[in-house]
Structure 1
Amino acid sequence: MNLTDVAGRVTGVLSSRFLLVAYLPVLAGALPLVVLVWAGAPGGTPDFSGAWETAGSLGIGESLVLVLALLVPAFLLQSLQLSLHTLWREGPPWRWWRRRRSAFWQGRREALAERARLPADFPSLGPAERDAATARAWPAASRLNRRFPPAGTPTRPTALGNLLTAMEHSAGRAHGWDAAVAWPRLYPVLRDPARSLVDDARDALDQAIGLATVMSLCAPLSLALLWPSGWWTLLTLVPAILAVGAYRAALRSAATYAVAVHGAFDLHRFDLLRALHLQLPADPAGERALAAALCDLWRQDFPLPPDTRYHHGEPIGGP
């Protein structure tokens, strides 16, 4: 194997997504801890001038070893992406905590639903009064639909879990699709710019979750290093604040991701039908019936209706 092959394989492993989603969060968490160790922690007042001198004295080989050493936790972080998503969506695995937090968000959902409800005498109001009532209810209704799953669906213990669950219940629903089972089939047939929007939003979400995880681990490790250092212990608040900020960034990224997924269903759902070699429906009612049948097939292995016919004449991306 020549140098070109090695470089090609390294480039394939160290993709831009890996660097963005896994390596940069690990670097952001590890670098402050390394600086603290170089500054003499634990063991008294940190000497950051000594840390600067140590950093400046590193040779190319030592710097390269440090950079490569971070690849191990970065690969671990990447391999745990799905587990971390579950953790930040569901919270710690304590039943009492999850019950209490789910009840809290259930109360928030009910309060928003009350604010979004139009008055009982709405039909009898004049045009100006109806416009005013709609203007008061619309912000709450919009937030309710974006941030919470529909009524009758249990709330999740976290804000992120509720937001992503709302997306799974609403994306494509108006057209008859169940996003939870249809999305793994729709995503491979997406075309730009919809695919780029989805990928960018998902990368931002994964990066924020990774950074929140790393900073949540960095805070107690910083405390252990700074515990005997008096007021310097307050530096532990920095990673804690960054963890909170990263979680809030994850919420914003999840909202953007939800919009991108909704758009993907609106614009490319017929590309999925073409990829399945199915006849495109002639009207919305026919689409909803076909989408429901496909989702039943993927979810529960129900067979398609006997009158289903394949259509092999139109490629993906055709008119």
Structure 2
Amino acid sequence: MTSGNKKILVTGAAGFVGSFVAARLAGMGHQVVGCDNFNDYYTPKLKTDRVNAILTPAGVECLTVELADTAQVNALFDKVQPDLVVHLAAQAGVRYSLTNPGVYIQANLVAFGNMLEASQRHKIEHLLYASSSSVYGANAKIPFSEDDQTDEPVSLYAATKKANELMAYSYSHLYKLPATGLRFFTVYGPWGRPDMAYFSFTQKMLKGETIPVFAEGQLRRDFTYIDDIVEGVVRLLFKPTPATESSPPHTVFNIGNHQPVKVVDFINTLERVLGVKANINQLPMQPGDVPTTYADTAKLRAWVDFAPTTPLETGLIRFKDWYNAWSAS
């Protein structure tokens, strides 16, 4: 799957997906350097804990870099001289984009533009970047296929992720830059993000606090376990799409579990795993939310002979075990 020892830059390396991807690549024998801006969107302690628990043992250095600053990005590329780039740094979250739009413009548009420009100047072999299932908007056709129309985003976050795909396509077209976008579907697991429902629900339920449930728990999400995400990322990184006469070397893939779960059923599973009953505060559907996310993974499976399959309950048990240890530390 890999061709020799590569110098690989992983952005957002102190983040949830980034830390696991960086450690996995280092474990395969590659020279991996990570970077992160260590912002306070959620507790920075979790990021430094990931560095100490996941990156440092793997021998991965994580530099503090602001990717929206062109000079810092140029200095980063000059220092690392990467062969491959895994760009996972971004401002995540749909609801936060309603109240803090400027952060998304900087982190997801300005920073991504800097990454594209540096990648083409350094003639990197492949840029793999994070998109999101949110680009599908309120798409009524399920499962979501990469060929579906995605130009009606229902949140600014989704709009920035769709913009990333368009920006990458243009650089791929202009400079023959091999680039692959990954539409992640509700990633969860140990060391995850505290703003995600499975994490915040666990915290609240174990404290006996009320959890907010929107649209009577009828929204459906395609929960995808972190190990499956990492496996997909690594396989795709070493298999860029070749250019053809009619198309640039750019492709977008779904990475999801292909098994959407109603939020109400997710809560029932979490109750079983935690051994506590949830106190529910029913709320209306929120602006920017979508009714369903459901990944068609046929394209991914055809290209790298892999698609996520970890059952939700299995993943939640692993998360609970990690959370109990981490919260006690």
Answer yes or no: same fold by TM over 0.5: no
Q: Which of 1 and 2 has higher RCO (CA within 8 Å, sep 6+)?
A: 1
Greater strand share, structure number: 2
Greater helix share, structure number: 1
- TM-score by structure 1 length? 0.27
Larger Rg: 1
